[in-house]
Amino acid sequence: MSDPNSLPTRQQSLAPIKDLSALRRMLQDLPPGNEHAAGAAAAREEILTKPPGSLGRLEEIVAWLARWQGRYPPVMDDPQVCVFAGNHGVAETGVSAYPPVVTEQMVQNFERGGAAINQLSAELGAKVTVVPLELARPVNNFLHAPAMTEGEFLEAFQSGMHAVRPGASVLCPGEMGIGNTTAASAICFALLGGNPADWCGRGSGISTGTVERKIEVVSEAVRLHGNAISDGLDALRILGGREIAAMAGSIVAARLLAIPVMLDGFICSAAALALHCSGPGSLAHCMVGHSSMEPGHRRLLAHLGLRPLLDLDLRLGEGTGGVLATLLGRAALRCHLGMATFTEAGVHSGIER
Ligand SMILES: O=C(O)c1ccc[n+]([C@@H]2O[C@H](COP(=O)([O-])O)[C@@H](O)[C@H]2O)c1
Ligand SMILES: Cc1cc2nc[nH]c2cc1C
């Protein structure tokens, strides 16, 4: 069993990040998981009253919790949901089915407890932290200028870091931002290439004609900025938004604080992709909650080599898919902690062991 006192401290994670180079260095030097704790979880799975491995990915979830919390047994008593909200200049090009004012209106809905994420979080017993990021000042339309300056980007990224509560058992990052599937598509096209149409879907429910416009916008964005993008953080700053940068910051802070992360849908995974492209290994503490209906999501997850836990045709965002998968995590941990061993139950442990 590892010593919880050896976990990273709050101070380490909250040290201000001076510039993009410092952040790039930080992504090369993230703490490893605790293999001892993961091994202890795997060892107990072997002696529980079931054929070895028969709880499938539930067993994987328990080992993941132990590895990245750095403790055995792992806990699930205090999950945190963070919903980051931001507005996008590119929304003025008519790429969403809704006006940007809906971002702010939904923030109020989150704060009053009226959104889907509030209900699912209540089911999980998780607190919802709502983080609106300068909604009255959308990031630049990336068809005219980089979405954010370096200063704006680092501020948003660090807002995401500071939102993470030390001691949370799992982090579920989520987002709200009218126009942000276009930003996520542009990030994916810039970093992974292929055809711009591969990365563009119906987002909040746009028509086929609007999808065509979205494809042109994404294609033009990468034509304009492609030369200025040399890694994931560049793509996040130039094509992303404050809520996408903040999600990335929350994922990094969670790693520093020994908190496993359950990723959500397409936009959340685009934030994760940017980290992966700037720091291979920086997503080792993440599982993917679900595969979104947004067609680029599956393609993106295949590139990351991450297999989603659920496939429920969700396309909402807010962290909903991550929270649903974390509910499965709670069920997995209950089995792990509550089941009898073969010896305790007096059950024959098999003739082919
Ligand atoms: O998480 C997803 O995979 C997802 C897929 C489609 C839409 N969304 C949500 O819809 C909003 C963006 O849609 P749009 O059409 O305005 O780009 C934003 O608030 C997201 O949370 C989220
Ligand atoms: C109403 C609404 C709720 C959302 N939640 C996340 N994205 C959203 C987009 C819309 C339009």
DSSP string, 172-186: EEEEE-TTHHHHHHH
Quote the pLDDT of residue 14.
Answer: 67
318 C-beta closer than 6 A to ligand 2: yes
What is the Å distance from ligand 1's center to 303 Cα?
21
Q: What is the mean pLDDT of the chain?
A: 96
What is the Å distance from ligand 1's center to 203 Cα?
5
pTM over 0.90: yes
Ligand that comes closest to the CA of residue 97: 1
Are 321 and 301 within 8 A, CB to CB? no
152 C-beta closer than 6 A to ligand 1: no
317 C-beta closer than 6 A to ligand 2: yes
109 C-beta closer than 6 A to ligand 2: no
What is the Å distance from ligand 1's center to 107 Cα?
14
Please state the atom number of ligand 2 nearest to the C-alpha of residue 96: 11
The fold of 79-331 is Rossmann fold (3.40.50)
CA distances from 91 to 97, 205, 217, 271, 324 (A): 10, 14, 11, 19, 29
Q: Which residue has 């970093």 as its token pair? A: 191
Dihedral sign for Cα atoms in the order 310, 60, 199, 120: positive
174 C-beta closer than 6 A to ligand 1: no
104 C-beta closer than 6 A to ligand 2: no
The rounded distance, in Å, linking the Cα atoms of 188 and 5 is: 39
| Pairing mode, strands 127-132 and 171-176 | unpaired
| Pairing mode, strands 80-85 and 261-263 | unpaired
Helices (H) and strands (E) in the chain, counts: 15, 5
What is the Å distance from ligand 2's center to 68 Cα?
31
Question: Is 216 assigned a catalytic role?
Answer: no
What is the Å distance from ligand 2's center to 325 Cα?
20
CA 276 to chain centre: 12
Residue 41 exposure: Cα atoms within 13 Å on the Cβ side: 30
The rounded distance, in Å, linking the Cα atoms of 327 and 122 is: 11
For 51, other C-beta atoms within 10 Å of its C-beta total 11
Please state the atom number of ligand 1 nearest to the C-alpha of residue 205: 15
Quote the pLDDT of residue 352.
Answer: 87
The rounded distance, in Å, linking the Cα atoms of 94 and 97 is: 8
Ligand that comes closest to the CA of residue 183: 1
φ, ψ (nearest 5 deg) of residue 63: -65, -40
Quote the pLDDT of residue 150.
Answer: 98
Catalytic residue among 45, 175, 318, 344: 318
Tokens coding 18: 């001076």
With a cut of 50, which residues of the chain have pLDDT below it?
Answer: 1-11
